[in-house]
Structure 1
Amino acid sequence: MTIFFALFGTLLLLLFVGVPVGFAMIGASIAVLASNRGLGSVPYEMVAQRTLYGVNSFTLLAIPAFLLIGRLMNTSGISDRVFDIARSLVGHLRGGLGHVNVLSSMLFAGMSGSAVADAGGLGPVQMKAMEKDGYDRGFSAAVTASSATIGPIIPPSIPAVIYGALANVSIAAVFLGSIVPGVLMGLGLMALVAYMSHKRGYPVATRASIRDILRACGRGFLPILTPVIIIAGILSGVFTPTEASAIAVVYCALIAFFVYRTISLREFWTICRETAVDTAALLVIIAGSALYAWVLARYQVTSQIIDFLSANVADKWVLLLLLNLFILLVGCFIDSVPALFLLTPILTPLVVSYGIDPVHFGVVMIFNLMIGLVTPPVGTVLFTVQKVADIPFGSLVREILPFYIPLFGMLIAITFIPWLVLGVPNWLLN
């Protein structure tokens, strides 16, 4: 356990002084190796090998593909088409644009797989429409931030790809296990929007006609097919999740270039360049986490943690409760992707030793970390939305407080009712 506290403490110290997450993991690993072996005896060849081994994964090729899909969707104007579909379906309800905000995020989630892509791409469209119809800017920003967390829940999902690769579990199962929690999460947010809209007297729009609904669905039909192609292809065995991401990139590019004609070659080059920069940053984190996990395994830290908890925690439900609190705490200070790379190698063997399904735990951990995206002090989505909405950060935090109720409520539900996660993958895969 001394090695664990040294590793974790050094990592937190490096993060506190501003070292990027990937380099902080590498630095903490080398520091622990040096303290145990001496600075001159650190196996630097093995350090280099392990960092390169971490990024040498066919599965992880899906990450840049999904990042590229999100940027293509945002730049090509597909966000507007998705918003119009949602508006035609639920815009007539009390607080209609709040419901539209949530539903459009659910639809966009099936295409981008990223909360930040949702907040940065669809968010401005949502908030501009809500403010124009008389909604408070703070309320609009709070709905946008909380609904953006659905993006990495409903498949396809970048965190699900990462977890599946790290935990060596079926990515298709994690995708399918996320469907029901993602839908219930959206319904919970819509229920809160309905209550707050009634309490504040927000407007009710006229119901869209059948013709308007068909027109909106026709304009956005091709993008909506993206998640259908991905999930259907994976389930049918036609292609793997990584191959599905590449096919989805080609499909989205064809739509943007030849159907909607909203992207030029110059814009596409800019999108690819920005995606490459984002991917490079993630690869550093992946490489650092691989070395970090190797050091944990070398000093048998995971086994020591399992032995310690086995001697003190007998019930798996108590363990899940404690792990939820721990992951929530980590998610408040570390972004979701680095947190996944940090926690998965440690926690997955632990939960498996207690008889907990790793797919169930993976969805719970991803869901938990998504709440961290809208929780201070880090809260990546909070800062993204605050920048777009141009409101004080404190005002946004006050407005988003009620939205934690459905988020935490659903977290508790999927933690202690496993079939909410496992029902769909057990039904379709078995």
Structure 2
Amino acid sequence: MTDLLNIMTPFGWCVASIVVLSLLGLPIGLSMIGSSVLYLLVSGQDIGIAAEQLLNGLNNSYTLLAIPLFILASELMNLGSLSDRLLTWCNALVGRFRGGLGHVNVVSSLIFSGMSGSAIADMMGVGKLTMEMMTKDGRYTPAYAAAITAATAVIGPIIPPSIPLVLYALISDTSVGYLFAAGVVPGLLMTVVMMALNSYLAHTRNFPVEPAVPMKELLPLTVRALPALLMPVVLLGGIYSGVMTPTESAAMAALYTLVISVVLYRSVTGNGMYTALLSSGRQMASVGLLIAGALVFNYVVTREDIPKDVQMWLAGYELSKYEFLLAVNVILLVLGALLEGGTILLVVIPILIPTARALGIDMIHFGLVVTVNLMIGLITPPYGLLLFIASSLSRQPLMAVIRETVPFILVLIAALGFMTYVPESVLWLPRVLGYQG
């Protein structure tokens, strides 16, 4: 292990270069590519290997096509009137209880997560609308509205479809379909604990009770929202019936959203479509650059046999699989507060996977534990990305948003602990669908 920390080795130069370039402001993807090329030069290898690894990794990963398609689908949802219709329906369903708009926030994020696969898309779409609804006429403090909106957005990549789970499938060689199925129960558990916390805070702080929508209006509102509500059913039904692969389901998600928004709701103009395509392209360029950097850097990690060295180092501590999972949770929660989740997923997790396999940890279970950790990192100070977005949208000081977010972080960590030590909470649904792991 001490050899890994020696900066005078080619690998040491590579790691030091990544740190320096990142601190200078270079995107992490470019930092990894540049540092990997430096490693090849210092170790006397052909620098063309970097391009070879990048192209081979992208050409052999058909599953990666799902990512830009899910991004496009979420952009079209935010652009059209789907978010408004879903929000109106959620308000009719749960808005009548004390703290009802907080419950609307949680439930709308749960439903929207079945379409977008992205926490940021959730935050910028339906989350932005619910935040405005909560703060209208001073019903809730802007800081609390921002905090619960940021916290509920983390459900997005847990409930299928999920962009992080697609990336995890790439690095772990596991089934995207079973990973999607494994996210359902954890996503519902996260929803329940956040609704319970919101209910407790609503009674403690005497949050307002919204006027109840008459039950006779619920059916018409359901009919208006039905095309949007059916989207997760169509996608997941297609995957688990064998009609579509996960990548094909992503294409169907984009097409389904386009047809609903343009033909049925007529809420997307030509300029709006251009804006959605442009935004999707920019987001995918950012994700693609990170993936490209990880593919090249993973060659360096494999060449240096880092996973085996880490496995042997951890073996010296004779950890059980549950002790290892505890250590992974602590490490990822700390890293998640400091680094971008995609970087951790594509760089750190491949190093831990061999040890997890050696300890007999199920890869589907491990993938969900990892993903939930990384999503909690999005709302963990000091560098939780969703905290900055929430602070910006609500025009509230960052510290005020952080204070209100802390209770949500704690209940989410408690839910994470349950998923970690009760594997069946994650694996039950995949096994119902035929998973044999």
**TM-score interval (norm. to shorter):** over 0.9
Q: d(CA) in 2 for partners of 1:80 and 1:284?
A: 33
Q: d(CA) in 1 for partners of 2:325 and 2:40?
A: 31
Q: How far does residue 53 in structure 1 lie from its aligned partner after superposition?
A: 2.2
**8 Å Cα contact 1:76/1:263 also seen in 2:** yes
Counterpart code for 1:11: I
Q: Does the C-alpha gap of structure 1 residues 293 and 205 become closer, same or farther in structure 2, counting only changes over 3 Å? A: same
For each residue in 1:93-125, what CA deviation from the matched residue of structure 2 results, as whole angstroms up to 9, or x when unmatched? 110000010000000000111100111111221
Match of 2:308 in 1: 303
Q: Secondary structure at the match of 1:429?
A: coil
For each residue in 1:182-237, what CA deviation from the matched residue of structure 2 results, as whole angstroms up to 9, or x when unmatched? 00101100000001111111111233222221122111110111111111111011
State the TM-score, normalizing by the size of structure 1.
0.96
Q: d(CA) in 2 for partners of 1:51 and 1:34?
A: 17
Counterpart code for 1:53: N
Q: How far does residue 55 in structure 1 lie from its aligned partner after superposition?
A: 2.2
Decide which of 147, 153, 156 is 1:148's aligned counterpart.
153
Counterpart code for 2:57: G
Q: Are 2:427 and 1:414 equivalent residues in the alignment?
A: no
- Tell me the percent identity: 38
Q: Secondary structure at the match of 2:284?
A: helix
Match of 2:133 in 1: 129
In terms of mean alpha carbon deviation, does 145-154 or 16-25 score higher?
A: 16-25
**8 Å Cα contact 1:172/1:235 also seen in 2:** yes
Q: How far does residue 358 in structure 1 lie from its aligned partner after superposition?
A: 0.6
Q: Are 2:198 and 1:187 equivalent residues in the alignment?
A: no
Counterpart code for 1:90: V
Match of 2:79 in 1: 75
Counterpart code for 1:335: E
Pairing 1:32-181 to 2, within 5 Å after superposition: 32-35=39-42, 37=43, 41-56=44-59, 57-132=61-136, 134-181=139-186
Q: d(CA) in 1 for partners of 2:348 and 2:86?
A: 34
Q: d(CA) in 1 for partners of 2:318 and 2:180?
A: 30
**8 Å Cα contact 2:91/2:101 also seen in 1:** yes
Q: How far does residue 319 in structure 1 lie from its aligned partner after superposition?
A: 0.6
**8 Å Cα contact 1:54/1:286 also seen in 2:** no
Q: d(CA) in 2 for partners of 1:328 and 1:220?
A: 37
Q: How far does residue 343 in structure 1 lie from its aligned partner after superposition?
A: 2.1
Q: How far does residue 170 in structure 1 lie from its aligned partner after superposition?
A: 0.4
Q: How far does residue 42 in structure 1 lie from its aligned partner after superposition?
A: 3.5
Match of 1:266 in 2: 271
Instruction: Report the number of matched residues.
Output: 426
Q: d(CA) in 2 for partners of 1:344 and 1:229?
A: 31
Counterpart code for 1:63: I
Q: Secondary structure at the match of 1:24?
A: helix
Q: Are 2:327 and 1:331 equivalent residues in the alignment?
A: no
Q: d(CA) in 1 for partners of 2:420 and 2:18?
A: 28
Match of 1:208 in 2: 213
Counterpart code for 2:102: G
Unaligned runs of 5+ in 1: none
Q: d(CA) in 2 for partners of 1:254 and 1:127?
A: 28
Q: Are 2:30 and 1:27 equivalent residues in the alignment?
A: no
For each residue in 1:321-380, what CA deviation from the matched residue of structure 2 results, as whole angstroms up to 9, or x when unmatched? 111111112211222222211123212122011100011000000000001101122211
**8 Å Cα contact 1:62/1:241 also seen in 2:** yes
Counterpart code for 1:407: L
Q: d(CA) in 2 for partners of 1:3 and 1:271?
A: 48
Decide which of 343, 361, 370 is 1:365's aligned counterpart.
370
Q: d(CA) in 2 for partners of 1:3 and 1:63?
A: 37
Q: How far does residue 2 in structure 1 lie from its aligned partner after superposition?
A: 5.0
**8 Å Cα contact 2:41/2:47 also seen in 1:** no
Q: d(CA) in 2 for partners of 1:215 and 1:34?
A: 66
Q: d(CA) in 2 for partners of 1:374 and 1:14?
A: 25
Q: d(CA) in 1 for partners of 2:415 and 2:16?
A: 32
Q: How far does residue 247 in structure 1 lie from its aligned partner after superposition?
A: 1.0
Q: Are 2:235 and 1:237 equivalent residues in the alignment?
A: no
State the TM-score, normalizing by the size of structure 2.
0.95
**8 Å Cα contact 1:90/1:99 also seen in 2:** yes
Counterpart code for 1:409: A
**8 Å Cα contact 2:40/2:47 also seen in 1:** no
**8 Å Cα contact 2:147/2:405 also seen in 1:** yes
Q: How far does residue 306 in structure 1 lie from its aligned partner after superposition?
A: 0.8
Q: How far does residue 9 in structure 1 lie from its aligned partner after superposition?
A: 4.5
Q: d(CA) in 2 for partners of 1:2 and 1:12?
A: 19
**8 Å Cα contact 2:380/2:409 also seen in 1:** no
Q: Are 2:254 and 1:254 equivalent residues in the alignment?
A: no
Counterpart code for 2:63: T
Unaligned runs of 5+ in 2: 6-11
Q: d(CA) in 2 for partners of 1:181 and 1:262?
A: 33
Q: Does the C-alpha gap of structure 1 residues 67 and 268 become closer, same or farther in structure 2, counting only changes over 3 Å? A: same
4+ runs deviating over 6 angstroms: none
Alpha-carbon RMSD: 1.4
Q: How far does residue 52 in structure 1 lie from its aligned partner after superposition?
A: 1.9
